[in-house]
Structures are given as C-alpha cells and as structure tokens.
Structure 1
Amino acid sequence: MVMVLLVEDDPAVREGLQLALRRQGHDVQAAGSGEEGVEQLRTRRPDIVVLDLMLPGIDGFETCRRMRTIAEVPIIMLTARGDDFDVVAGLEAGADDYVIKPTEPRVLDARIRAVLRRTSTTEPSNSERHGELVIDRAGFEVTKNDEKVGLTPTELKLLLELSRTPGRVLSRQQILEAVWEHDYLGDSRLVDACVQRLRAKIEDVPADPKYVHTVRGFGYRFGPR
C-alpha cells in the first residue's frame, strides 16, 4: 500500500482528499501546515507527498525546498490556479508534478500512480559511462567522479530517458509522454523545470551544459562533449 503524505491547511479539502485517496487504496497521513508536513516527512518517510502551495506559516514553495533537503521523495503540488508563476516556481522548488484545484480524486490518483511508476521501471542490468557520469540503470544510481548524485525519481527517469540513445533529439512532447505520462503539450514547463534541476546536479556549469543540450525550438539531446 502506498503511503501518501497530504499537506493541506483547509480542513474540508484535507478530509475530502484523505477519504477519496483511501478509497483509491492509499494509506494517507495528513498535515495541516508546512512545518507539520516537514516533521512528518522526517519521521514517517512516505512514498509520495501531495503538497498544497497556499499554506499558513511557511508556504508550499519553502516547504518543498525543506523537504528536498530531507529526502528525494516524489512531490506533487496542488495549486488553486493554473498561474504560470506559481506552477514554474513550484517546479523549480523541487516538485515533480502539479494538479490544479479543485481536482477530481481519480485525476490525483492517476498522477500519484504515474509518478510512482517512475521508481519501479525495470531497466537493463548494465552501467553506462558518459565522460565523468556513470548511469547504473539496474541499480537506479548515478555517480559523477565516483560520487553518488542525489536525483529525485522524476529527475532520474528524465536522465534515463534522455541517455537511452545518446545523440538523439527528443521533443518536449516525447519527453512529457515518456516521463510524466501526460499528453498535453501545455505541460511542457514540467520538462523545462526538471531539465533545469537535473543540470544543476550533473553539470559542472549548468548554464553551459556538457550532458543535456537544448535543441532550440524542439527539445533536448543527451551526449557529453
């Protein structure tokens, strides 16, 4: 059973989502503030976090950043608006996906299951060396200069997808469908934000990437230079 940590300050919304997600077969633990959510993450170690952006005290953006210092747990953010600033800021803070409120429980459940599938995909049992970067597809581990690189499940899935065929250019739509299992091109900001986070972890100079290259007007290509 998947353990979901739900961080939502509105009691009615929180209780409604708890009940709905339990009906979908999830074990749901709830927190009413960002501070409480961070503490529960430390002690309970859930499989995934569903995090509202508009919280009292520390907001969802700061909560997400703090959670990222504790664990590489997948995070889906809930936003009351489809505002580009909120969405992009949330993704840059470390969220893996987003859902706009009000949301149907089955939609949230589908997003949860899609994110979790990224951690259970079977890869061929081999390690690949790309310059200083070593990708262990079987062990779901990435090292650079013999040091482990801490990637979230989404960042890892993105790297695995890009590096599957070095030199091949993948459109944002192709990446979106392969990694997030979405088919709406408007969600391409998910791709761009995740690429930005991935570069910050694997590149020596993220602004001048060596591994993940932008193909202007189309998408991205993997290949050390």
Structure 2
Amino acid sequence: MVAGAGSRIDPRCRGQRRVAATASHGEGAGVVSERRTAVIIEDDADIRHLLETVLEQAGFSTVATGNGLDGIAAVRAYDPVITTLDVSMPGIDGFETAKRIRTFSQTYIVMLSARSEEIDTLQGLEAGADDYLTKPFRPRELRARIEAMLRRPRAVPTDAGETAPVAAAAPAAPVAPAVPEPVAAREPVAPAAPAEAAAQPVETQLYTGDGSGPWLEHRGLRLSPEERVLVIDGHEINLTRSEFDLLEALMTSRRRVRSKADLALLLRGESYVTSHFVSEADKRAVEVHLANLRRKIGDNSSQPEFIETVRGIGYRMTAVEES
C-alpha cells in the first residue's frame, strides 16, 4: 500500500510499500509512523526490490527511495527503526546522507556498498552508520545483523535533555523466507575523497544528572550503565551507542583482555561462541569505534591513560597505581 495523502515525502519517492501512516489536516500536520518501519535508500531498482522483500519478510513495513535527498525526507517523515543506505548514489552520496540523517534521527543505519576498502568502512562508521556490509551481500546475514541491533537499547534524548536507554521495537516473529541469491555488485561511481583524519574537538556539557545507580570508575572516568552517561571532570561526554558499549565492557573487565572478535560479537548482541563468524570487517569496525572513543576521552594510543592495546589480541583498561 502506498503512503497516504498526508505524507510529506517528495513526489519523486516511489515504491513506498505497506506503511502504516496517518496525518491530520490541521496546521502542523505530519506523518505518524509505526515503530516497525524500515526506510530503503538505494538507486539500483533490483537491489531496492530485494531489500524490500528481505525486510518485509522480517516483519517491517518499507519505504523505498532512490536517492539521498528523498531518503532523508523519508526518514524524517516515517521515523524508521532501520534505514539501509547505499553509498554510491546520484546527488549526495551515502556518507553525506548518513551525516544529515544523524542530525535529527537515531534510526539504525546499515550501509551497503560495493566498496570494500578499509577507508570506506571507516568513512561509513564515522558518518554515523551502525553497520557496513559490502555487496554482494547475503540476505540472511543482513537480517541477522539487523536482529542483533534490535536486541540492544538505543539511547535517546529525554525532555529534560538527558539520555535514557530505550529498547528498539523488535519486528514480529518472521516467517522463514525463501532467501534470494546474493545481488551482484555494481560498479561504484567515483569514490568520495577520504575524510580528514585530524581529530576534531569534542563538545561537552556539565553533568546535571541525579548521580543515582552504580558507577564504574577508572582514573577519572565515571560511567553509569543505568543512565548511559560518561562523565570526565564533571563534564558529560557524548558517546555513540557502540562507543558506550565498548567502554562499559572494558571497564567491567578491567585488566582482563577483550579480543576484537569478542567485542565485535558484543556490538552485534551475540555471545562469544565459536559458531558465530567474525569477519575482518567486523574487527576493523571495532578498531574504528575504539579510535573515535579514544579521541573523545582524550586518550593517546601510544601513551594510553585509559585504554591499552594488547598487540595481536585486543584491548583492556590501563593499570591503576596502588595508593
């Protein structure tokens, strides 16, 4: 079913399917979407139709768009749980699209691209993507990654300006689908220039929470798993969900080394068992998240104050001197 007349999506957005949306006719009318909506931003019609099939079989309503600007409008209108995003598109590319979406939405972003270089994965995660899959992708793997993300809470801002963990709405129990064959990768358009590697200053604000609940502390870092906040010298540091989960895992483990594979499974919401496959891309994603985390807390990987790299294995917190 195509979205109703109250939709504010640009008329160029085609292929909107089975979206439950309503709108009032008064001033400020808008679209009220159900929480189990997925937005697809993909310019290739075959891949777009495949994604519609995979996501609808997983229990989502879908809104399909063919370029970044229409995709941004769809995310703003339908407030989706999941957004899949192609990198090479006409107009603005997937990296810029993700950055704009992140200014107003906490939707889970899964970036899909034929580009498999490490710099592309790094750019995607830094732009705000939660996961990065290369084409040709396996539909079953895409569904598994989405279901893993939905098992973890997403911290969203409250009316008081603080953050609180909110569990994402899980899709209805899916019917085992007939999985299509992997889609062949298209030739990418000219790649975007690499993002600047220079660290940018991190804005902080004074912490005004009530301080209740247990806190994890390490050399001036104070982390509250219940409030999902990190405080350094009285200032709250804004972390992404993945950065917070990694820091909490390391602070809980203290001097015990956590491997990259272990941390990758943690981010996917899976237990550390040998039956779960961890790719090199998953491990690189952990490295990128740790690098961003270190930048935000002012840590230096060569002379670490907080997080120590154990070469060839993983990460752990630095030692605390006995008083």
- Is the TM-score greater than 0.5? yes
Q: Determine helix, strand or coil for the equivalent of 1:55.
A: coil
Deviations for 1:13-41, whole angstroms, at most 9, x for unmatched residues?
21321132111112323332222223333
Q: How many residues in Structure 1 have an aligned counterpart in Structure 2?
A: 223
* Letter paired with 1:62: E
Residue 159 to residue 4, structure 1, CA distance change in 2 (3 Å): farther
Residue 41 to residue 135, structure 1, CA distance change in 2 (3 Å): farther
Q: Determine helix, strand or coil for the equivalent of 2:309.
A: strand
- Any stretches of 5+ residues in structure 2 without a counterpart? 1-34, 155-164, 167-212, 271-275
User: Residues 1-16 of structure 1 correspond to what in structure 2 (within 5 A)?
Assistant: 2-16=36-50
Residue 65 to residue 207, structure 1, CA distance change in 2 (3 Å): farther
Residue 151 to residue 71, structure 1, CA distance change in 2 (3 Å): farther
TM-score (norm 1): 0.83
User: Residues 14-163 of structure 1 correspond to what in structure 2 (within 5 A)?
Assistant: 14-119=48-153, 126-163=214-251
- Any stretches of 5+ residues in structure 1 without a counterpart? none
Residue 171 to residue 24, structure 1, CA distance change in 2 (3 Å): same
Q: Determine helix, strand or coil for the equivalent of 1:214.
A: strand
Structure-2 separation of matches of 1:49 and 1:164? 32
Structure-1 separation of matches of 2:221 and 2:238? 13
* Letter paired with 1:8: E
* Letter paired with 2:259: S
* Letter paired with 1:186: E
Q: Which moves more between the two structures, 47-56 or 125-134?
A: 125-134
Q: Which moves more between the two structures, 159-168 or 200-209?
A: 200-209
How many angstroms does 1:206 deviate by?
7.4
Q: Which residue is equivalent to 2:261? A: 173
How many angstroms does 1:198 deviate by?
1.8
Structure-2 separation of matches of 1:171 and 1:127? 24
Q: Determine helix, strand or coil for the equivalent of 1:217.
A: coil
Structure-1 separation of matches of 2:76 and 2:319? 37
How many angstroms does 1:208 deviate by?
5.3
Q: Determine helix, strand or coil for the equivalent of 1:126.
A: coil
Q: CA RMSD in A?
A: 2.8
| 1:217 counterpart = 2:312 | yes
Q: Determine helix, strand or coil for the equivalent of 1:163.
A: helix
Structure-2 separation of matches of 1:149 and 1:4? 30
Residue 10 to residue 65, structure 1, CA distance change in 2 (3 Å): same
Residue 45 to residue 110, structure 1, CA distance change in 2 (3 Å): same
Structure-2 separation of matches of 1:164 and 1:127? 10
Q: Which residue is equivalent to 1:184? A: 278
Q: Determine helix, strand or coil for the equivalent of 1:164.
A: helix
* Contact map agreement 2:304 2:318 (CA 8 A) in 1: no
Indicate the structure with greater helix content. 1
Structure-1 separation of matches of 2:106 and 2:296? 13
How many angstroms does 1:221 deviate by?
1.4
Residue 43 to residue 150, structure 1, CA distance change in 2 (3 Å): farther
Residue 133 to residue 224, structure 1, CA distance change in 2 (3 Å): farther
Greater relative contact order (Cα < 8 A, sep 6+): 1
Q: Which residue is equivalent to 2:201? A: none
> % of aligned pairs identical?
37
Q: Determine helix, strand or coil for the equivalent of 2:253.
A: coil
